[in-house]
Amino acid sequence: MVGTRRGREATPAEFALLGLLALSDDRRHGYDLSREFQAGGALADVIRLEPGMLYHHLKRLEGRGWAEATREPIPNRPPRQSYTVTAFGAEALDRWLREPVAHTREVRLEFLVKLYLAHLRGPGLAGRLVAEQREILSGLAASLRDQGERLGRGTFPAAVNALRLAQTDAALAWIDGLEQPTRT
């Protein structure tokens, strides 16, 4: 994401980390979490997270009271910081997982992260998310179609609108064809 969060509580990267923390029963530390974002990890193809930013985000989650850290000194190693989600953090995560994204361009990253985490948290959550996202996209497509009729054809603004509509329809078709992923 670029610039300010504009009302959003946190970035998709932060929610991804929060979600991973929430999914595991025991505490997890940064190096451990970083494996999920390396080649082969499930989220590697969706969101890119270098170690530097990962540790930065963990600090921010802690600062916001969404995660708690325990310092374990380890001989001959930098002390390990292990994190767990707080009740406050779990609430924020669930709120986020219930909220579909507002724009087609956010499907590619933010919605995919939500989908991944929602599915792991429970099939019902994922199903509701998908249904609500479908509604949003369907509304966007309808208003783009209206706009398209007003714009006609052959002009640049009409081409811009047509691209947006094509992308939105494609996302809709994709979401309709989604099977409940059973394996990860």
Partner DNA sequence: GGGATCATGTAACAGGTTACATGATTCA
Partner DNA sequence: TGAATCATGTAACCTGTTACATGATCCC
Q: Is 30 left (phi over 0), alpha (psi -120 to 50) or beta?
A: alpha
Binding string, residues 82-121; x marks residues near a second copy by CB under 8 A: -----------------------x-xx---x--xx--x--
User: Residues touching a second copy: how many (CB under 8 A)?
Assistant: 38
Structure tokens at 29: 């530390």
Q: Give φ, ψ of 81 to 5 degrees.
A: -105, 115
63 binds DNA (CB under 7 A): no
Name which position in 41, 44, 53, 162 contacts DNA (CB under 7 A).
Answer: 53
CB of 110 to a second copy, least distance (A): 12
Residue number, 79 or 131, with CB nearest to a second copy:
131
Name which position in 11, 84, 86, 147 contacts DNA (CB under 7 A).
Answer: 11
Q: Of 54-62, 63-71, 133-141, 153-161, which segment contacts a second copy by CB under 8 A?
A: 153-161
Q: Choosing among a second copy, DNA, none, which partner's interface includes residue 103 (Cβ < 5 to 8 Å by kind)?
A: none
141 touches 168 (CB < 8 A): yes
DSSP summary character for residue 59: H
For 28, the enclosing helix (H) or strand (E) is strand 28-29
CB of 86 to a second copy, least distance (A): 27
131 binds a second copy (CB under 8 A): no
CB of 126 to DNA, least distance (A): 24
Q: Give φ, ψ of 75 to 5 degrees.
A: -60, 135
Tell me if residue 66 falls in helix, strand or coil. Answer: coil
End-to-end CA distance of the chain: give it in Å, rounded: 26
